[in-house]
C-alpha cells in the first residue's frame, strides 16, 4: 500500500488513522520561522463519520487508504446483505447493514447509489439525493383541508416514515429528498 509524506497531504487524501480509513478535510502547517514544521490535520473517519485531529512532524509518512468512490446500482436485499452492481463491468458487491445505514430507508431497487469501497469492501452507501416512492399507508385527509397547512405521517413502500401534506393518499408516488428525509412533491 502507498504511503504519503506530509508534503503530499491535501484535502480529500485518504489515509489510515487508528486503523480506520480517513479523508483529510484540513491540513495546516504549524512552524516557527526557522524551526521544525508540523502538519496539523483534521480528518473524517470514513467508517464512523467522526472528525479527528492529529499532528505530524513534517516529513513523517502515513499509510494511504485504498478507498474508492463509485456509482453502483442497487439490486436487492436478502435481509442480511444489500447487493449492488457496478454497471460498467457487472461486478457485484454485498454491503452489510452498517455500511448501508440510513440509505436502506430510501432504496427499493435500480437506484444509482454512491458507494465508498475500502480494500474491496463496501464502507458506506449514499442513496440518490432524490427518490420516488409509493405511499403504502396513510390516514385519509379531512375534506376541505387540502392544499395548505398541516402534515400527517405516511409510510412508504420501503418502510420509511415521512411527514406528508394532508392531501396525499395511499398509492400516490412521492418525491423525497433523502438528505433530510423530507417530502418534496408528488412525482
Partner 1 sequence: MLLERALMLKNIRAFFHERNVIEVETPLLSHYSTTDLHLDSLQSRFRDQTCYLNTSPEYAMKRLLACWQKPIYQICKAFRDDELGPTHNPEFTMLEWYQPGYDMLQLMDELAALIEHLCHGSKLSPLDTSLLASPRFERLSYQQAFERFSGINPHQTTSGECYQVAKVNQVEIPQGLGLGEDEVNDWLDWLLTQLIFPAFKKDCFTFMYDYPATQCALAKVSENEQHILVAKRFELFFGEMELANGFHELTDGVEQLQRFQQENQRRELAGKQAGRIDENLIAALSHGLPDCSGVAVGLDRLLMALTGNVAIDRVLSFSWENA
Q: Which residues bind partner 1 (CB under 8 A)?
A: 7, 28-38, 53-60, 62
What size, in residues, is the chain? 187
Q: In whole angstroms, how close is the CB of 139 to partner 1 at the nearest point?
A: 54
Distance in angstroms (rounded) separating the CA atoms of residues 162 and 34? 59
Q: In whole angstroms, how close is the CB of 144 to partner 1 at the nearest point?
A: 57
Minimum CB distance to partner 1 smaller for 40 or for 175: 40
Minimum CB distance to partner 1 smaller for 32 or for 144: 32
Distance in angstroms (rounded) separating the CA atoms of residues 67 and 176? 29
Q: In whole angstroms, how close is the CB of 161 to partner 1 at the nearest point?
A: 44
Q: In whole angstroms, how close is the CB of 171 to partner 1 at the nearest point?
A: 52
Minimum CB distance to partner 1 smaller for 36 or for 129: 36
CA distances from 124 to 23, 70, 83, 95, 141 (A): 13, 11, 13, 8, 38
Find out whether 78 and 97 touch, Cβ atoms under 8 Å: no
Minimum CB distance to partner 1 smaller for 31 or for 179: 31
Find out whether 75 and 84 touch, Cβ atoms under 8 Å: yes
Amino acid at each position: 500500500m502507498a504511503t504519503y509524506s506530509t508534503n503530499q497531504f491535501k484535502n480529500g487524501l485518504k489515509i489510515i488513522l487508528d486503523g480506520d480509513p480517513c479523508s483529510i478535510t484540513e491540513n495546516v502547517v504549524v512552524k516557527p520561522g526557522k524551526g521544525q514544521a508540523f502538519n496539523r490535520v483534521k480528518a473524517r473517519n470514513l467508517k464512523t463519520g467522526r472528525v479527528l485531529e492529529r499532528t505530524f512532524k513534517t516529513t513523517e509518512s502515513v499509510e494511504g487508504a485504498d478507498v474508492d468512490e463509485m456509482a453502483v446500482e442497487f439490486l436487492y436485499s436478502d435481509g442480511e446483505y444489500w447487493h449492488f452492481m457496478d454497471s460498467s463491468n457487472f461486478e457485484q458487491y454485498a454491503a452489510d447493514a452498517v455500511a448501508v445505514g440510513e440509505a436502506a430507508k430510501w432504496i427499493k431497487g435500480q437506484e444509482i447509489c454512491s458507494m465508498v469501497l475500502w480494500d474491496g469492501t463496501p464502507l458506506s452507501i449514499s442513496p440518490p439525493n432524490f427518490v420516488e416512492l409509493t405511499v403504502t399507508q396513510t390516514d385519509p385527509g379531512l375534506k376541505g383541508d387540502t392544499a395548505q397547512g398541516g402534515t400527517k405521517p405516511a409510510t412508504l413502500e420501503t418502510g420509511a416514515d415521512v411527514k406528508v401534506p394532508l392531501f396525499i393518499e395511499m398509492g400516490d408516488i412521492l418525491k423525497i429528498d433523502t438528505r433530510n428525509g423530507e417530502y418534496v412533491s408528488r412525482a
